[in-house]
Structure formats: C-alpha cells, structure tokens
Amino acid sequence: MKTTFTALVAAAITAAAPAMADLVVPNLSYRTGPFAAGGIPYADGFNDYFTLLNERDGGIGGEKIQVPECETAYNTEKGVECYESTKGMGALVYNPLSTGITYQLIPKVTADGITLYTPGYGRTSAANGKIFEWVFNYPANYWDGASVAIKYLLSQNGDDLKGKKIALLYHNSAYGKEPIRTLEELSKKHGFTLSTLPIDSPGQEQKSQWLQVRREKPDYVLFWGWGVMNQVAIQEAANIKFPMENFVGIWWSGSENDVKPAGAGANGYKAITFNGVGMDYPIYADLKTYVYDAGKASGAGDQEGSVIYSRGMYAAVVIAEAIRKAQELAGHSAVNAAEVRAGFEALEITDARMAELGLAGFGQAFAATCADHGGPGGAMIQQWDAAAGKWMLTTDFIAPDDEVLGPLVAEDSAAYAKENNIAERCN
C-alpha cells in the first residue's frame, strides 16, 4: 500500500515533462489571484493567436505550436517552478507577463540559452542587446512609456511643464518603481515637480494615497498599476472628483476591466498603449472562423478584442514572426532555442507585414539589431468613453525622448554587466 502510494506520488510529480517534437512556447499565465483581471485576457489572446496559426496555417512553417500553460498567480516562487517544469519540454521562448518573474528569469534564461521576450514590461535596460543577449523587450518599455506620457503632457501644455506638479501613483514593486528614475530625469529637464506615492500590493486599499492627492493637488497623476488596484484607483479618483483627463495610466492600467466598475465616473480616463485597440482589424475575421466559431477559444472565450487581449495577441504575433524568421535563417523548420534567439535579433516587422497579418496600424514597425533589443518605443494615448463603452485612440504614435533614455539604459545595463561580469557583445 505504502509503496504503491509512493510510486503514484513519484509518477504524478514527474508526469509534467513529456517529450514533444513541436515548437513549444510555454505560457506562464495567471488566471487566479489579485492580478487575474489582467492575466486572463492576456493569456487568452496569447493562446488564441497560436491556435489560429495551428488551425489556419498548420503552425509555423509546417511545425505545429504547443502552448503549455502554467499558472504562476503572479508569484515569483510559482514562476520559478513553472519555468523549471516547462523548460524540459524544449521551450523556445518565455513571456511571463510579470516584472518580478522577469527579474528572476533573466539570469536563468541566460544560463540555459532560452529567449525571454518581455514586451512592455520587465527590466527596461534589457533593451541594450550588448549586455542582455537573451532578453528582448521591443516594441516599447516602461521608460519609453514614462517619456511618452510626459511628452504628451508637454504637448497639452504648449511644450512647457515648468512649475507643474505631477504625482506618480505606483504599485510598490519592481514593476511600479521602474519609471521613477526616468521621471526624475525628466523632471530635471522640464522643470516639473514629481511626487511619488507607493501603493502596496495588491492595492485594494488606497484611501491614504488619494487623500494625499487631494492635499497636494497635483496637476497630473501618472499611474503604474496592475490587477485589482487599477479599478480601485479609478474609483477613488472618481470619488474625489479628480479630473479624469489629467489621470494617465501606463498600458497595463488601461483595460476595460479597470474602468467599467467606476461607470460614468471613469469617463475621460487616459492610458498609454503601444498597440491598437478594438476589433476593427481583419485578423478578427480569421479568429472568428478558425477559433471562436470552432469552439477552440482559450478560457471562457469572453475577452475577444479587449485591450489586454489584443496585447497578448500582439506578443504572440511577434513571437510567431520571430520563429518564422528563425526558420528562414536556419533553413529548416524544427528550430531550437538558440536559432529562435537569432530570429528575434534579426526580426524586422514592417507596416506592410503588419497589414499582411491583418493588423494594419496595430503596432509600430520596428527592426531589431544586435545592440538594439528595445525597438522604437513609441506609444499612443487612448481615452475611455464611458457612454460608448469603448477606448478611443486620441493620438498617433508618440516617440519617446531618447536623449534622456539612452544614457539611463546604458548606465543601468552597465551596472548589471559589472555585477555579473558580462562582456559587451556586438562590437
């Protein structure tokens, strides 16, 4: 009895690693916990695009794609476990959608030789390909986001922010702290005063921070929130009657789930985005035919076209394109992790290619190089229209201030290189 139980236990623990021949792109998702509101649509978008490729095209270059999912609950310990349990399947690229897990995985993927793709999150200085060989974060990162937000505010104020007060309300974690250094530099350059208000995870309690906003009366509030804290912040802002058009969130703080609970009070709230929103893209016709109507949609199938869903899909599109590029470079379709990295580094997505994919104008065109893993970093501003229940894009892509960001990226990546004895590549 005891031995059979032990055998069963051993079998159950080892059962997680079956050998597979297909292209494996693990999806470290989180559908539970305080950040599930963002994790679910992202994971669904990510899965659905690969399902579409499998159903419509038979995979990439004739190779089917496997997307084993592993639940991290946005927790770094579970993230480690998920990474270890999926890497044995022949994982080609990871996209954990968590800055904390990204920080943990950067040294691990570098040692194991697997690409880490962190679009719009993770360690910003990974944009420097000279130091971070295995990490890619194009098309945009947090420092780009911070810079775009300030540039947008500049354009609203006749290019002058002197004497203005800007508050940064952020998730008290690596994710929320990322933009502080950039904003400090920008405040020196443009002469606005910056105050930082941390909110402890998960962020359901923000009364004191909003009291401080009321007291300090900042002209603008920038917001780095995620998960359940987004809805709370927008509700609190509506409660104190903070002018919504002066409240600007990062791309992770601007989904339908975040604004809907506040009802009409959320009208006018703005968020940055590096991808298009809505369902007016031809790709959705294909998704409908091959995925939704075929009953193969991931999860509950109720997230189509939402902002975060689109972003998850965008990440999948870039990964698929990188794998395609890798197949082209390698000359065979069953690519390995090292070949996929080469694909990421040689990747160029043009506007014409985006149109071919059925996503014209959805994301910026970019081309990676050995040194540049960060892309152009442009982003748009979207605004919530509560009456229509839709996000409206109010600007075109705004380019970030590379004059400020360039030295910051160089400085931070140099510090990492020194800590870990990494020699510069690409010279």
Partner 1 sequence: MFYREAGDFKTSYREDSQTFPIKFDRLRFYAVLAVAYGVIPLLINDYWASAVFVPFLIYSIAAIGLNILVGYAGQVSLGTGGFMAVGAYACYKLMTAFPEVSIFIHVLIAGGITAAVGVLFGLPSLRIKGFYLAVATLAAQFFLVWLFNKVPWFYNYSASGQINAPERSIFGVIVTGAQTSAMAKYMFCLIMLTIVAVIARNLTRGTVGRKWMAIRDMDIAAEIIGVNPLTTKITAFAVSSFFIGIAGALFFSVYLGAAEVGEAFGIQKSFLILFMVIIGGLGSIFGSFAGAAFLVLLPVLLKNLLVGTLGWPTDLAAHIELMIVGALIVIFLIAEPHGLAQLWRVAKEKLRLWPFPH
Picking from 275, 233, 235, the residue whose alpha carbon sits closest to that of residue 251 is: 275
Q: How far is the CB of 380 from partner 1 (least distance, A)?
A: 25
Q: What residue spans of 260-399 are helical by DSSP H?
A: 283-287, 307-330, 337-345, 351-356
In DSSP terms, 27 is beta-bridged to 69
In DSSP terms, 199 is beta-bridged to 171
Q: Which is nearer to partner 1, 36 or 167 (CB)?
A: 36
Q: How far is the CB of 92 from partner 1 (least distance, A)?
A: 17
Measured in whole angstroms, how far is the alpha carbon of residue 361 from the centre of its chain? 18
CA distance 259 to 267: 8
DSSP character at residue 400: P
Q: How far is the CB of 93 from partner 1 (least distance, A)?
A: 17
Q: How far is the CB of 174 from partner 1 (least distance, A)?
A: 4
Q: How far is the CB of 290 from partner 1 (least distance, A)?
A: 21
Q: Which is nearer to partner 1, 16 or 329 (CB)?
A: 16
Q: What residue spans of 131-206 are helical by DSSP H?
A: 142-156, 174-177, 180-190
Q: Which is nearer to partner 1, 182 or 382 (CB)?
A: 182
Q: How far is the CB of 14 from partner 1 (least distance, A)?
A: 8
Give the angle subtended at the CA of 65 by the CAs of 64 and 69, to the nearest 5°: 145
Q: How far is the CB of 84 from partner 1 (least distance, A)?
A: 4
Q: Which is nearer to partner 1, 174 or 342 (CB)?
A: 174
In DSSP terms, 71 is beta-bridged to 29
Stated as kind and residue range, the H or E segment containing 361 is: none
Picking from 114, 6, 29, the residue whose alpha carbon sits closest to that of residue 338 is: 114
Q: Which is nearer to partner 1, 201 or 209 (CB)?
A: 201
Stated as kind and residue range, the H or E segment containing 28 is: strand 27-29
Stated as kind and residue range, the H or E segment containing 228 is: helix 228-239
Q: Which is nearer to partner 1, 2 or 217 (CB)?
A: 2
Residues binding partner 1 (CB under 8 A): 9, 12-13, 15-17, 29, 31-32, 36, 40, 69-71, 73, 75-77, 80-81, 84-85, 87-88, 99-100, 103-104, 107-108, 110-112, 123-125, 172-175, 177-178, 180-181, 198, 200-201, 299, 412, 415, 419-421
Q: Which is nearer to partner 1, 198 or 361 (CB)?
A: 198
DSSP character at residue 413: H
Q: How far is the CB of 271 from partner 1 (least distance, A)?
A: 22
Here the tokens at position 46 are 């990510």
Q: Which is nearer to partner 1, 35 or 284 (CB)?
A: 35
Here the tokens at position 123 are 């360690």
